[in-house]
Structure 1
Amino acid sequence: ANLITVAGANRVLTIDLHASQIQGFFDIPVDHLYAAPVMIGHYQANPLPNLTVVAPDTGGAERARAYAKRLNAELALCDKRREKANVAEVMNVVGDVRGRSCLIVDDMCDTGGSLTKVARALKEAGAETIHACFTHPVLSGRACEQLANSDIEQMVVTNTIPLNGAACELKNVKTLSIAPLLAKAIKSIHEETSVSSLFV
């Protein structure tokens, strides 16, 4: 945070911080935007039948609830226990997903381990189709291999991080641009108007 300030920045725009507390490390204004308007707009234009929005863990319940409300969908949650970093065990699915189109929403996908295990748990619980959307496609290690062999039919991501070579080869990944969202925020800041209209 201090390096960014020393470099001359007098304001920071972020998208879906993994931990919102990061804003507190800055001595300059921070506008924390969310990719939800972009993602929700996509699913409103391309609706999934009998939709249930799924939080991959208890920490993502608030995000999933916001998506479910805007998409007039049901809500489910995966309760999991993480034994160590990047290794998660899905314990059970809270909510009835039988015969439903499930949309897993999260802020990022790193190794893909958690996401693929959640997808498997949903399939075992009777989900008809499984989709996923996440803002930051980190996709490190064997993520692309795991996702290619998973139960997920389509993944929607944003371009906050460029897709790596292996990710570009995945046939079931759709990338949405957050450029219009950033442009609106920059315009509002420049014109000294509120950016609150950009929040879900």
Structure 2
Amino acid sequence: MLKRLFYALALLPALWLAGCASPLAVPADHAATSSVTASADPGTGLPSSPDSSTSVYPGGGLKPLAAEPSLRSRSVQSLLPPADLWERVRRGFAMSDLDSDLVRERELWYSSRPDYVARMTERGSKYLFYIVEELERRDMPSELALLPFIESAFNPQAVSSAKAAGMWQFMPATGKYFDLTQNMFRDDRR
């Protein structure tokens, strides 16, 4: 692990220098000050069969897009994720709602202990962003990001009486099933 990290860090300056060392090459016949035009079809404004030696570059300044009625009626979806992490978690909810006596009992238990929830939230702040990113990348329900709240209160060193370990409380057999290393030096369940 340390060896791989060393190699990755050693490659970063080389990659940066390689990107900086080669400026964009501009052919001599396409200098920035010259303008190359081709004959255009008067009906369409498109180039009329330019030969291989003639290139067509747009000329003039930038023009705003025409405000066509068909474009105004369409809404554009934002590509940026919400700034609030909790909003991202809520948007990713995909599991069906559970409505049972056990769920209501647990809701009452957590709602009557705001100090405990605040401590868990503070402890989880180290991990929650990364967990949500990975769930979104894998298109998985974001409720899974909240599982460590219940299982271990976001304590990566938690061990249950049944020998489940880590934030996600993997049992030893489950860890073996997912090929997680478990020996006296390393426990990947944590």
Band the TM-score falls in, shorter-chain normalisation: under 0.3
Q: TM-score normalised to the size of structure 1? A: 0.19
| Structure number with higher strand proportion | 1
| Structure number with higher helix proportion | 2
Q: TM-score normalised to the size of structure 2? A: 0.20
Bigger CA radius of gyration: 2
Tell which has more relative contact order, 1 or 2 (C-alpha 8 A, sep 6+): 1
